[in-house]
Amino acid sequence: MNKFNRVCIVGKYRSAEVQRPVSQIIDFLQGEGVDCMVDDMTAQQLPGIKVECGPVDDVVSRSDLVVVLGGDGTLLGLARTVAMHNVPLLGINLGRLGFLADISLNKMVASLRAVQRGEYITDDRAILEVSTDSEPETGIWALNDVSIGKGQSGSLIQMKVTIDGEFAYNLRSDGLVVSTPTGSTAYALSAGGPIIAPGVDCVLLVPVCPHSLSNRPIVIPGTSKIEIELIESIDARVHIDSHTHLNIREGGRLMIQVAAPTVRLVHSRGHDYFGTLREKLHWAGTMGS
């Protein structure tokens, strides 16, 4: 695999803890002859930094690799930008869980050294595209999930769910999560959905506290086109990767499908998906471990 010659580094917004590791990454990469860039927001946290800075969309578009320091939320916030420009993304964990940003701080430099030697694997993750009937031409991407939830009134939501033009079910609940396999370990998991391996071509629909206990999570093909019509609600909202939030009124419709681009994650060569699950979810070891 090729060495990355131009790397963009993005740190968690307004976090003082990114200063030292970002400086360490820049020192290491420059020692390897790599051109480094940081986005403007990260640069504000690094007084006196002597690398190229610019708007995040600009510096990402001109890089061969993006290194993000933060939690999974920080990585999710950057996912749309890297997908748009087809730039691979490597995550260093400063957060709590680290399913996506899976390289620890104490292994950061060693992992980057290995990556620069070509000792890495890539992992293409599907993303969802969501649009509304009020703005059908405006698609917003989600790496984890799109969820509809009740607002401050606390009133249940009633929805009509259609899949590939066929009526699927009516749902009366606190909400509904439409998730990628990547997002199956996030909100969907908390709502009782299954864990789905990232390479499975599918979409997951998980009701949140359904009024009828017979409404269960369902896994559908990744080629499916989902339409959700809001039948009854006072103040429902749509949450896209917890970064974009939309109001939706009664009679409003959401259209969701898998987008054409993907997010390409970079992992150390020894990355083990099931090992990550065992570690993060505190699964017990097995006789074979």
Secondary structure of residue 257 in the 3-state scheme: strand
**Which positions are annotated as active-site residues?**
72
CA–CA distance, 274 with 196 (Å, rounded to integer): 11
Beta-bridge mates of residue 125: 263
182: number of CA atoms within 13 Å, CB side? 26
Q: How far apart are CA 286 and CA 107, in angstroms?
A: 26
What gap in Å lies between CA 189 and CA 194, rounded to an integer?
6
User: From CA 255, how far away is CA 266, in angstroms rounded?
Assistant: 30
Decide if 128 contacts 142 (C-beta within 8 A): yes
Q: How many CA atoms lie within 13 A of 53 on its CB side?
A: 13
Q: State the Cα–Cα distance between residues 76 and 104, nearest whole angstrom.
A: 17
| Residue 73 DSSP class | H
CA distance 50 to 48: 6
Residues β-bridged to residue 230: 159
Contact 125, 183 (CB under 8 A): no
Neighbours of 183 (CB within 10 A): 30
Extended beta strands in 222-286, E state = 225-232, 237-240, 244-247, 253-268
